Chain A
Amino acid sequence: MAAGRRAPPEPGGGPVLLQGIFGAGPTPGAAACSLALTARELQRLERTFRVSLGPDAEDNLRIAQAWSRRIRELSVPTVPTQDGDSYGVLPRPCRALVLVNPQSGAGRALEDFQAVVQPMLAEADIAATVFITERPHHAQEKVRDEDLSQWDTLVIMSGDGLLHEVVNGLMERPDWADAMQKPLCILPGGSGNALAASINYYAGNDHVAKKKLLTNCTFILCKGLHTQMDLVSLSTASGKRLFSFLGFGWGFISDVDIDSEKYRRLGNARFTLGTLQCLAKLRVYQGRLSYLPAVPEQGTPLAHRDPHAPITNGQAAHVLPPAGTEAPGALPADSLLVPLCQPVPAHWTVVPEEEFVTVYAIYQSHLGTNLLMAPAARLNDGCIHLFYLKAGISRLALLKIFLAMARGTHLDLNCPHLCYVRVQAFRLEPRAAAGIMTVDGEALACEPVQGQIHGRLCRVVSGS
């Protein structure tokens, strides 16, 4: 900490890190600069430094403000130099539109926002305007028609479902390419939130839950660093096209995930008696799964596969054109996919088994707050992590896998029924309309679906 005239140190005060969020304000009398520093353990510490260099109050104020400015500058996160152009920092002062679903978190989302988030944002010079959603698709409509130039960031305080609406609302705009440059931020609204848990994980934080996760994510927002995130474009047989940021699922995982209360998520429920119930009547679903393997990186094993899995040509398909090079206004083309009515391209892999307990394509690390499904996943790793559980797995093995998933060690169990492969695109054709399908945790009609990755299509506030 730089030298200067200081007020007597507070009792028990110790060294503080100079990374933090803070505000400055003069107090009556001698100009003072008051800092609230957030130490590593995210406790709010307050230190007041009084400037009384000379008798002139205005002079003192100017010095205090200069200190304040300089300290603030020093606290701005260093933008990483590799991939330098893909990182950014939110401006200060920052104007944030905060979309809140008041029913999120068993109705406590708004309360938590006011109690936990708002004070931190105020100190970080982020002006928050709250928009309360009143029904499904409300958020989607809002961002679709909104004048985005008045906001520096769109903050979603709710579950993954609301972010899903926002992403799809933005993609509905004619100026989507610009709109998708607007950094999005997720704050867990009390219910389990897989993206928030993933971002917390990418930031190198310990696994935490609920309030602590909210504090961590708010801190990440206050730092203001943002980077690019992959999205997956999904197309269904009935002609729907959706953009997804978290995952697509079918079967057991989705069965447990969905119920009449739309806002409950697997991440929140973890293993309840309801999950055991699904386990009791373990169902098997028939369908065909095909995929285009991802381009292997140097030395990285492409898949955690069982020895009986098919060997493919291994050649990657044509390279994805960078987003934005299509005709203006046209949505990013799914250049890796052929229409659903045609067979998959020859260089794709078709899974020989046609009976599954579950298929889950995930593009973040966490399936739920407590389920680290794809430890290797990153925000912009350019691939989809495809998992499938073949029929024949015992209830015991399934239970063991999900228990191990809490620590991300399920792949070490080497269960022959669990398959994991990194892909750029996939297609799932259920034999019948059986089993629930989910996108980002929201229910979807069960029908043939295919999807492909679109690298770095949007921006999110993240810790690293």
Chain B
Amino acid sequence: MGGSASMLPREALSEYQELTFLSKQEILLAYKRFSALLPKEERVNVCSARVPKSQILTLPELRANPFQHRICHVFSTSEDGDDSMSFEDFLDMLSVFSDSATSDIKSHYAFRIFDFDDDGTLDRKDLEKLVNCLTGQGEESRLSNMEMEQLIQNILEESDIDKDGTINLSEFQHVISRSPDFASSFKIIL
């Protein structure tokens, strides 16, 4: 980086260490990577800038992630609904996906990420979208209706404890807590 990059103020650094699961090095690295996403003239005031989603998605760690759009959406505090991210949004995201974040935090955010219609529960439509994200976006890379039905049936049978046809946060967390290495697969390390 050149001298044009501004430094993260020390008070901000310690504050972020307090508020997130990230270490000092991780925060500084995040600052560097976030600045690089900004056009040169905005790098003077990194902490108040917003990076458009399209830029965030160029990060190699997110580019191949099947849930990239949902991740941006969940962590974005943009009031314009454009899913752009501020530096603090970015840190929030990295914090949840870091090694040190607890399983509870991860599963809480995983739930929000999978909740495509943002209504607080995972219903059939959400599960369908979830599976389609995994299998691919093209028409040929989708399950047939029957297969999708079978899969969703299986998932609901296993996870829908109160049998109301949807998976709420605690049911989700319960199932995920028994999952092999959920935490290790829910990781983004820069």
Chain A residues with CB under 8 Å of B141's CB are 394, 396
Q: Are A395 and B158 in contact (CB under 8 A)?
A: no
**Which bracket fits the contact residues of B?**
20 to 34
Chain A residues with CB under 8 Å of B151's CB are 271, 399, 403
Interface class of chain B by DSSP: helix
A-B residue pair count with CB separations less than 8 angstroms: 81
Within the complex, what minimum Cβ distance (angstroms) separates A443 from chain B?
11
Q: Are B147 and A400 in contact (CB under 8 A)?
A: yes
B158 in complex: contacting residue of A272, A280, A394, CB < 8 Å: A272
Residues 110 to 146 of chain B near chain A (Cβ within 8 Å): 114, 130-131, 134-136, 141-143
Chain B residues with CB under 8 Å of A406's CB are 150
Is A261 located at the chain interface by the 8 A CB criterion?
yes
Is B66 located at the chain interface by the 8 A CB criterion?
yes
Is B178 located at the chain interface by the 8 A CB criterion?
yes
Is A329 located at the chain interface by the 8 A CB criterion?
no
Q: Are B135 and A396 in contact (CB under 8 A)?
A: yes
Is A278 located at the chain interface by the 8 A CB criterion?
yes
Q: Are A395 and B136 in contact (CB under 8 A)?
A: yes
Q: Are B178 and A276 in contact (CB under 8 A)?
A: no
Q: Are B185 and A277 in contact (CB under 8 A)?
A: yes
Segment among A16-24, A213-221, A231-239, A251-259 that sits at the interface with chain B:
A251-259
Closest residue of A by beta carbon distance from B183: A277
Chain B residues with CB under 8 Å of A226's CB are none
Is B154 located at the chain interface by the 8 A CB criterion?
yes
Tell whether A273 pairs with B175 under 8 Å between CB atoms, given A278-B185, A396-B141.
yes
Is B179 located at the chain interface by the 8 A CB criterion?
yes
Within the complex, what minimum Cβ distance (angstroms) separates A371 from chain B?
11
Is B159 located at the chain interface by the 8 A CB criterion?
yes
Is A270 located at the chain interface by the 8 A CB criterion?
yes
Q: A259-B181, A277-B185 are in contact. List 16 more A-B contacts (CB 8 A).
A: A259-B179, A271-B158, A273-B155, A273-B176, A274-B175, A274-B176, A274-B178, A276-B130, A281-B185, A394-B141, A395-B135, A396-B141, A399-B143, A403-B147, A403-B150, A406-B150
B residues with CB within 8 A of A: 66, 114, 130-131, 134-136, 141-143, 147, 150-151, 154-155, 157-159, 172, 175-176, 178-182, 185-186
Of the A-B pairs whose beta carbons lie under 8 Å apart in the complex, a sample of 5, sorted by A's number, is: A257-B180, A259-B178, A278-B185, A396-B141, A400-B143
A residues with CB within 8 A of B: 255-259, 261, 264, 269-274, 276-281, 370, 394-396, 399-400, 403, 406
